Amino acid sequence: MTWKDHGELFVRYEKNPILTVEAWPYRAAHAVFNPAVTMVDGTTLLLVRVEDHRGFSHLTVARSKNGIDGWEIDSEPTLFQDSVNYPEEIYGIEDPRITYIDEMEKWAVAYTALSDSGPLISLTFTEDFHNFERVGAILPPESTDASIFPVRFNGRWAILHRQVSGMVGSKANIWISFSPDMKYWGEHEVLLYAREGGWWDANNIGTCPQPIRVPDGWLIMYHGIRQTTPKINYRVGLALLDLEDPRKVLKRSEGWVFGPREMYERSGDFSDAVIPCGWVLVDDELRIYYGSADTSISLASAKINDILEYIHGCSEVQCPKEYCRWFEGNRGKSIDPKRG
């Protein structure tokens, strides 16, 4: 069967970018990007990565009643690095993902801390985005792009994350891990392998926003990094995970569904990059908030029914050639981390 190219599925807000550093109420800001997002009492809340003039990042809240404009931004950093009590944050904190946990009546915020051993995943909880309960580091270097599921699976919490090896020629894949208490994580296995060759998501992939529960599974968005010349492109695709066992990938988009096109996405501190760290469902509209070229924040949206129709029409997960036979024979079993 001939593959059908659906093109981009998300429509950009016509007045993008919606937030730039010029809107920031304090001076220690060089760029604003990669926001997590959630809804709080009907208000859209962004937890924005703010990079200062040292090159270090912290997180600041911006709120909007309509999620588009009229943003109210905290007058000082909301969550700053605490390298005295948490030395793994010595070079800053960045790229959060927010998940509301009904069982705890709290938001879980997973973020990347930059340690002197490389990036790792840290976790904090909050009830109001003013006070935070830091757990500290939960996954070792080199780990990034973490997002937590809002429910337990067989009594265990689950987290998606990206693991990077320093070994030459190794890939960055999306992993899933489990925990009884949100502090100690184990049962690590590869969830989604990066493809190979000419694919848009060859060699290096990572999770974007938090998983969203849909009627027949968990919808996730992930980015792929392709380098065919000295230029690198960040694009995003979709996958659908099993509702009861998120280790099972039901569907995966063959093509990317959103990528850099406009000048504010193609030129900046990191050119040709769209990096959504958060999405929310407003009525029937799925909104993604994304970093544009590591410089500003933009908005795009799609009808949720259109997204579900698209992902249901995709093929089952496709593995890299050298893993296919082994992976299909061991689906659902623990995966040897050495193969990641």
For the chain, give every domain's residue range.
33-327
CA distance 260 to 233: 8
Q: Which CATH number fits domain 33-327: 3.60.20.10, 1.10.3720.10, 3.10.450.750, 2.115.10.20?
A: 2.115.10.20
Look at residue 20 and give its three-state secondary structure: coil
Closest among 152, 202, 207, 206 to 180, alpha carbons compared: 152
As given in the structure block, the two tokens for residue 253 are 């988009």
Query: Tokens 């949720």 — which residue?
Result: 304
Render each residue's pLDDT in the chain as its tens digit; 340 residues: 577 888 999 999 999 999 999 999 998 789 999 999 999 999 999 999 999 999 999 999 999 999 999 999 999 999 999 999 999 999 999 999 999 999 999 999 999 999 999 999 999 999 999 999 999 999 999 999 999 999 999 999 999 999 887 666 678 999 999 999 999 999 999 999 999 888 999 989 999 999 999 999 999 999 998 776 677 889 999 999 999 999 999 999 999 999 999 999 999 999 999 999 999 999 999 999 999 999 999 999 999 999 999 999 998 765 544 444 434 444 444 433 333 3
Q: Which residues pair with 106 in a beta bridge?
A: 101
Closest among 301, 304, 309, 310 to 11, alpha carbons compared: 301
Cβ neighbours for 105, distance < 8 A, ≥ 6 positions apart? 127
As given in the structure block, the two tokens for residue 259 are 């990528």
